[in-house]
Protein backbone atom coordinates (compact mmCIF):
# COMPACT_ATOMS: atom_id res chain seq x y z
CA UNK A 1 0.00 0.00 0.00
CA UNK A 2 1.31 3.43 -0.96
CA UNK A 3 1.99 5.97 1.77
CA UNK A 4 -0.59 8.69 1.15
CA UNK A 5 1.62 11.40 2.68
CA UNK A 6 4.34 10.61 0.14
CA UNK A 7 2.02 10.54 -2.87
CA UNK A 8 0.15 13.81 -2.22
CA UNK A 9 1.35 16.64 -4.42
CA UNK A 10 2.59 19.70 -2.53
CA UNK A 11 1.35 22.12 -1.41
CA UNK A 12 -1.18 20.01 0.49
CA UNK A 13 -4.57 21.48 1.46
CA UNK A 14 -6.49 19.57 4.14
CA UNK A 15 -9.97 19.83 5.65
CA UNK A 16 -9.45 19.86 9.43
CA UNK A 17 -11.29 17.42 11.68
CA UNK A 18 -14.08 19.22 13.56
CA UNK A 19 -16.45 17.58 16.01
CA UNK A 20 -20.07 17.39 14.81
CA UNK A 21 -19.00 19.11 11.58
CA UNK A 22 -16.77 17.02 9.34
CA UNK A 23 -18.89 13.88 9.21
CA UNK A 24 -19.42 11.95 5.98
CA UNK A 25 -22.32 14.21 5.01
CA UNK A 26 -20.35 17.46 5.21
CA UNK A 27 -17.35 15.88 3.50
CA UNK A 28 -19.55 14.75 0.61
CA UNK A 29 -21.00 18.25 0.29
CA UNK A 30 -17.48 19.73 0.15
CA UNK A 31 -16.32 17.04 -2.29
CA UNK A 32 -19.03 18.13 -4.73
CA UNK A 33 -18.12 21.83 -4.43
CA UNK A 34 -14.33 22.04 -4.14
CA UNK A 35 -12.45 19.07 -2.73
CA UNK A 36 -9.36 19.34 -0.51
CA UNK A 37 -6.34 17.12 -1.13
CA UNK A 38 -7.04 15.13 2.02
CA UNK A 39 -9.95 14.57 4.42
CA UNK A 40 -9.94 13.72 8.13
CA UNK A 41 -12.75 12.08 10.09
CA UNK A 42 -14.15 13.60 13.25
CA UNK A 43 -11.96 12.59 16.18
CA UNK A 44 -13.00 9.16 17.43
CA UNK A 45 -12.41 7.60 20.86
CA UNK A 46 -10.30 4.44 20.95
CA UNK A 47 -12.31 3.43 24.02
CA UNK A 48 -15.43 3.43 21.87
CA UNK A 49 -13.80 1.71 18.90
CA UNK A 50 -12.61 -1.28 20.92
CA UNK A 51 -15.80 -1.57 22.99
CA UNK A 52 -18.42 -4.03 21.76
CA UNK A 53 -21.20 -1.83 23.12
CA UNK A 54 -19.51 1.42 22.20
CA UNK A 55 -18.43 0.69 18.64
CA UNK A 56 -21.84 1.04 17.04
CA UNK A 57 -22.44 4.65 18.16
CA UNK A 58 -18.86 5.77 17.39
CA UNK A 59 -18.65 3.90 14.09
CA UNK A 60 -20.69 6.63 12.39
CA UNK A 61 -17.73 8.93 12.97
CA UNK A 62 -15.68 6.56 10.80
CA UNK A 63 -18.25 6.26 8.04
CA UNK A 64 -17.09 7.47 4.62
CA UNK A 65 -17.76 7.09 0.89
CA UNK A 66 -15.45 6.74 -2.10
CA UNK A 67 -15.75 10.41 -2.99
CA UNK A 68 -14.13 11.28 0.37
CA UNK A 69 -10.82 9.65 -0.46
CA UNK A 70 -8.05 9.95 0.45
CA UNK A 71 -9.13 10.00 4.08
CA UNK A 72 -7.40 9.77 7.45
CA UNK A 73 -9.05 8.40 10.60
CA UNK A 74 -8.35 10.58 13.63
CA UNK A 75 -8.39 8.79 16.98
CA UNK A 76 -7.83 9.80 20.60
CA UNK A 77 -7.44 8.33 24.08
CA UNK A 78 -4.69 7.53 26.59
CA UNK A 79 -4.34 3.73 26.61
CA UNK A 80 -1.61 2.38 24.27
CA UNK A 81 -3.19 -1.09 24.20
CA UNK A 82 -6.53 0.32 23.07
CA UNK A 83 -4.74 2.44 20.45
CA UNK A 84 -3.14 -0.76 19.15
CA UNK A 85 -6.47 -2.57 18.83
CA UNK A 86 -8.29 0.47 17.46
CA UNK A 87 -5.59 0.96 14.83
CA UNK A 88 -6.03 -2.62 13.68
CA UNK A 89 -9.77 -2.07 13.23
CA UNK A 90 -9.26 1.26 11.47
CA UNK A 91 -6.83 -0.37 9.04
CA UNK A 92 -9.41 -3.05 8.20
CA UNK A 93 -11.89 -0.28 7.36
CA UNK A 94 -9.65 0.84 4.51
CA UNK A 95 -8.42 4.22 5.73
CA UNK A 96 -5.38 5.81 4.10
CA UNK A 97 -3.75 6.66 7.40
CA UNK A 98 -4.23 7.25 11.12
CA UNK A 99 -3.94 10.58 12.91
CA UNK A 100 -3.55 10.82 16.67
CA UNK A 101 -5.30 13.77 18.31
CA UNK A 102 -2.83 15.37 20.70
CA UNK A 103 -4.26 18.86 20.47
CA UNK A 104 -7.91 18.97 21.50
CA UNK A 105 -8.19 21.54 24.32
CA UNK A 106 -11.54 20.34 25.73
CA UNK A 107 -11.16 20.57 29.53
CA UNK A 108 -12.94 17.32 30.37
CA UNK A 109 -10.69 15.43 27.96
CA UNK A 110 -7.47 17.11 29.05
CA UNK A 111 -8.25 16.43 32.73
CA UNK A 112 -8.33 12.71 31.90
CA UNK A 113 -4.83 12.87 30.42
CA UNK A 114 -5.92 12.68 26.79
CA UNK A 115 -5.40 14.75 23.63
CA UNK A 116 -3.58 18.01 24.48
CA UNK A 117 -2.68 16.67 27.94
CA UNK A 118 -0.14 14.42 26.21
CA UNK A 119 1.99 17.52 25.57
CA UNK A 120 3.02 17.19 29.24
CA UNK A 121 3.39 13.42 29.03
CA UNK A 122 5.87 12.65 26.23
CA UNK A 123 6.59 9.16 27.59
CA UNK A 124 2.96 8.09 27.16
CA UNK A 125 2.75 9.95 23.85
CA UNK A 126 5.70 7.94 22.56
CA UNK A 127 4.11 4.66 23.65
CA UNK A 128 0.85 5.58 21.92
CA UNK A 129 2.65 6.45 18.69
CA UNK A 130 4.45 3.12 18.70
CA UNK A 131 1.20 1.25 19.39
CA UNK A 132 -0.53 2.93 16.45
CA UNK A 133 2.38 2.16 14.13
CA UNK A 134 2.45 -1.50 15.11
CA UNK A 135 -1.32 -1.95 15.25
CA UNK A 136 -2.45 -0.27 12.04
CA UNK A 137 0.68 -0.52 9.91
CA UNK A 138 -0.58 2.62 8.19
CA UNK A 139 0.99 6.07 7.79
CA UNK A 140 0.83 7.87 11.15
CA UNK A 141 0.41 11.59 11.75
CA UNK A 142 -0.35 13.79 14.76
CA UNK A 143 -2.40 16.94 15.14
CA UNK A 144 -1.25 19.01 18.09
CA UNK A 145 -0.77 22.47 19.57
CA UNK A 146 2.39 24.35 20.54
CA UNK A 147 1.91 24.03 24.28
CA UNK A 148 -0.62 23.92 27.11
CA UNK A 149 -0.22 27.05 29.26
CA UNK A 150 2.92 28.35 27.58
CA UNK A 151 4.51 27.92 24.17
CA UNK A 152 6.68 24.79 24.15
CA UNK A 153 7.46 24.43 20.47
CA UNK A 154 11.09 23.41 20.80
CA UNK A 155 10.50 20.83 23.54
CA UNK A 156 7.23 19.31 22.35
CA UNK A 157 7.48 19.57 18.57
CA UNK A 158 11.16 18.68 18.84
CA UNK A 159 10.17 15.48 20.64
CA UNK A 160 7.50 14.57 18.08
CA UNK A 161 9.87 15.11 15.17
CA UNK A 162 12.05 12.30 16.53
CA UNK A 163 9.17 9.78 16.50
CA UNK A 164 9.34 8.92 12.80
CA UNK A 165 5.93 10.40 11.97
CA UNK A 166 4.76 10.81 8.39
CA UNK A 167 3.19 14.18 9.10
CA UNK A 168 2.64 16.67 11.89
CA UNK A 169 -0.24 19.15 11.79
CA UNK A 170 0.69 22.06 14.03
CA UNK A 171 -2.07 24.33 15.33
CA UNK A 172 -0.23 27.53 16.18
CA UNK A 173 -1.88 28.17 19.55
CA UNK A 174 -1.57 26.84 23.09
CA UNK A 175 -4.39 25.04 24.87
CA UNK A 176 -4.97 28.04 27.12
CA UNK A 177 -5.31 30.33 24.10
CA UNK A 178 -7.99 28.12 22.53
CA UNK A 179 -8.87 30.18 19.42
CA UNK A 180 -9.01 33.54 21.17
CA UNK A 181 -5.74 34.93 19.79
CA UNK A 182 -4.17 34.96 16.32
CA UNK A 183 -2.27 31.77 15.51
CA UNK A 184 1.49 31.97 16.13
CA UNK A 185 2.69 31.15 12.64
CA UNK A 186 6.23 32.08 13.61
CA UNK A 187 6.12 29.05 15.94
CA UNK A 188 4.93 26.85 13.08
CA UNK A 189 7.89 28.14 11.07
CA UNK A 190 10.09 27.19 14.03
CA UNK A 191 8.74 23.64 13.77
CA UNK A 192 9.85 23.56 10.13
CA UNK A 193 13.35 24.73 11.10
CA UNK A 194 13.52 22.09 13.85
CA UNK A 195 12.51 19.44 11.30
CA UNK A 196 15.14 20.55 8.81
CA UNK A 197 17.83 20.78 11.48
CA UNK A 198 17.51 17.10 12.40
CA UNK A 199 16.86 16.01 8.78
CA UNK A 200 13.49 14.53 9.66
CA UNK A 201 11.25 13.46 6.75
CA UNK A 202 8.07 14.42 8.64
CA UNK A 203 5.81 16.75 6.68
CA UNK A 204 4.77 19.90 8.54
CA UNK A 205 1.21 21.12 8.00
CA UNK A 206 0.29 24.53 9.40
CA UNK A 207 -3.10 25.13 11.00
CA UNK A 208 -4.73 28.33 12.23
CA UNK A 209 -6.43 31.36 10.65
CA UNK A 210 -6.15 30.29 7.00
CA UNK A 211 -8.86 32.43 5.42
CA UNK A 212 -8.67 31.46 1.75
CA UNK A 213 -6.82 29.34 -0.79
CA UNK A 214 -4.50 32.21 -1.70
CA UNK A 215 -3.93 32.98 1.99
CA UNK A 216 -2.94 29.34 2.39
CA UNK A 217 -0.46 29.63 -0.47
CA UNK A 218 0.99 32.79 1.08
CA UNK A 219 1.46 31.08 4.45
CA UNK A 220 3.02 28.03 2.82
CA UNK A 221 5.53 30.24 1.02
CA UNK A 222 6.26 32.53 3.98
CA UNK A 223 6.57 29.92 6.72
CA UNK A 224 7.97 26.98 4.73
CA UNK A 225 5.28 24.43 5.59
CA UNK A 226 4.37 21.56 3.26
CA UNK A 227 0.69 22.44 3.38
CA UNK A 228 -2.12 23.90 5.43
CA UNK A 229 -5.12 22.56 7.28
CA UNK A 230 -8.31 24.63 7.13
CA UNK A 231 -11.02 24.40 9.78
CA UNK A 232 -13.53 27.14 10.56
CA UNK A 233 -12.55 29.11 7.47
CA UNK A 234 -14.70 26.77 5.43
CA UNK A 235 -17.88 28.09 7.07
CA UNK A 236 -17.32 31.44 5.37
CA UNK A 237 -16.48 29.90 2.01
CA UNK A 238 -17.55 26.36 1.09
CA UNK A 239 -15.36 26.65 -2.03
CA UNK A 240 -12.25 27.49 -0.01
CA UNK A 241 -10.30 24.58 -1.52
CA UNK A 242 -10.91 25.73 -5.07
CA UNK A 243 -7.55 26.57 -6.60
CA UNK A 244 -8.51 30.15 -7.37
CA UNK A 245 -10.09 33.19 -5.76
CA UNK A 246 -13.27 32.89 -7.78
CA UNK A 247 -16.19 34.36 -5.87
CA UNK A 248 -19.31 32.20 -5.98
CA UNK A 249 -22.16 34.66 -5.98
CA UNK A 250 -25.10 32.33 -5.54
CA UNK A 251 -28.65 33.43 -6.14
CA UNK A 252 -31.10 33.07 -3.27
CA UNK A 253 -32.62 30.11 -5.10
CA UNK A 254 -29.23 28.42 -5.43
CA UNK A 255 -28.51 28.97 -1.75
CA UNK A 256 -31.78 27.34 -0.75
CA UNK A 257 -31.18 24.43 -3.10
CA UNK A 258 -27.76 23.85 -1.56
CA UNK A 259 -29.25 23.98 1.95
CA UNK A 260 -31.91 21.47 0.89
CA UNK A 261 -29.31 19.16 -0.62
CA UNK A 262 -27.33 19.19 2.62
CA UNK A 263 -30.42 18.66 4.77
CA UNK A 264 -31.74 15.78 2.66
CA UNK A 265 -28.36 14.02 2.65
CA UNK A 266 -28.08 14.47 6.42
CA UNK A 267 -31.51 12.92 7.02
CA UNK A 268 -30.94 10.16 4.46
CA UNK A 269 -27.60 9.26 6.06
CA UNK A 270 -28.44 9.57 9.75
CA UNK A 271 -32.21 9.37 10.08
CA UNK A 272 -32.77 9.72 13.81
CA UNK A 273 -29.28 8.54 14.75
CA UNK A 274 -28.11 12.14 14.97
CA UNK A 275 -30.01 15.08 16.36
CA UNK A 276 -31.46 17.39 13.72
CA UNK A 277 -30.13 20.29 15.81
CA UNK A 278 -26.56 19.44 14.72
CA UNK A 279 -27.50 20.30 11.15
CA UNK A 280 -28.50 23.86 12.02
CA UNK A 281 -24.92 25.04 12.50
CA UNK A 282 -24.58 24.79 8.72
CA UNK A 283 -27.55 27.00 7.88
CA UNK A 284 -25.44 30.14 8.12
CA UNK A 285 -23.20 28.78 5.35
CA UNK A 286 -26.11 29.06 2.97
CA UNK A 287 -28.31 31.82 4.39
CA UNK A 288 -25.95 34.77 4.79
CA UNK A 289 -24.37 37.76 3.04
CA UNK A 290 -27.53 39.21 1.55
CA UNK A 291 -30.19 41.63 2.71
CA UNK A 292 -32.67 40.02 5.08
CA UNK A 293 -30.52 36.90 5.55
CA UNK A 294 -30.57 36.99 9.36
CA UNK A 295 -34.38 37.11 9.49
CA UNK A 296 -34.74 34.25 7.02
CA UNK A 297 -32.06 32.23 8.79
CA UNK A 298 -33.87 32.69 12.11
CA UNK A 299 -36.94 31.04 10.61
CA UNK A 300 -34.89 28.07 9.38
CA UNK A 301 -33.37 27.75 12.86
CA UNK A 302 -36.87 27.13 14.20
CA UNK A 303 -37.42 24.07 11.98
CA UNK A 304 -37.42 20.64 13.60
CA UNK A 305 -37.21 18.23 10.65
CA UNK A 306 -36.68 17.89 6.90
CA UNK A 307 -40.34 18.37 6.10
CA UNK A 308 -40.39 21.76 7.83
CA UNK A 309 -37.18 22.83 6.05
CA UNK A 310 -38.63 21.84 2.68
CA UNK A 311 -41.91 23.61 3.38
CA UNK A 312 -40.15 26.79 4.46
CA UNK A 313 -37.81 26.72 1.47
CA UNK A 314 -40.73 26.27 -0.91
CA UNK A 315 -42.52 29.18 0.68
CA UNK A 316 -39.64 31.41 -0.45
CA UNK A 317 -39.05 30.04 -3.91
CA UNK A 318 -39.97 27.42 -6.46
CA UNK A 319 -37.58 24.55 -7.10
CA UNK A 320 -37.14 22.49 -10.21
**pLDDT band, residue 55 (cuts 50/70/90):** confident
Helix (H, G, I), strand (E, B) or coil at 229: strand
Percent of the chain predicted with pLDDT > 90: 88
Q: Is 60 exceeded by the pLDDT of residue 282?
A: yes
Contacts of 141 (CB under 8 A, 6+ apart): 5, 72, 97, 98, 99, 100, 165, 166, 167, 168, 169
Q: Is 50 exceeded by the pLDDT of residue 197?
A: yes
The pLDDT value recorded for residue 88 is 97
Peptide bond into 320 cis (omega under 30): no
Instruction: Please give the positions annotated as active site.
Output: 104
In tens, the pLDDT along 130-162 reads 999 999 999 999 999 999 999 999 999 999 999
In tens, the pLDDT along 85-105 reads 999 999 999 999 999 999 999
What DSSP character marks residue 119? G
C-alpha 172/C-alpha 290 separation (Å) is 33
Q: Return phi, psi of residue 318, to 5°.
A: -95, 145
* Domain ranges (residues) in the chain: 4-236, 252-316
Contacts of 109 (CB under 8 A, 6+ apart): 76, 115, 116, 117
Tell the CATH superfamily of the 4-236 domain: Aldolase class I (3.20.20.70)
What DSSP character marks residue 76? E
Amino acid sequence: MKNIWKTLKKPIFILAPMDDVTDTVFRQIIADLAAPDLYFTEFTSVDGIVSEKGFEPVSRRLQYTKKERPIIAQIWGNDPEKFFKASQLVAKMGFDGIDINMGCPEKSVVKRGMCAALIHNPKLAGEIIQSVKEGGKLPVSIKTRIGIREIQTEEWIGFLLKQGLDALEVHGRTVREMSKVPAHWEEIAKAVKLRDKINSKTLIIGNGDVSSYLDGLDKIKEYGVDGVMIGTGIFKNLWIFEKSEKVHKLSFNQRLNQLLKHTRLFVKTWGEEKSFVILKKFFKCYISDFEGASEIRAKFMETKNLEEVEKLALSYSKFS
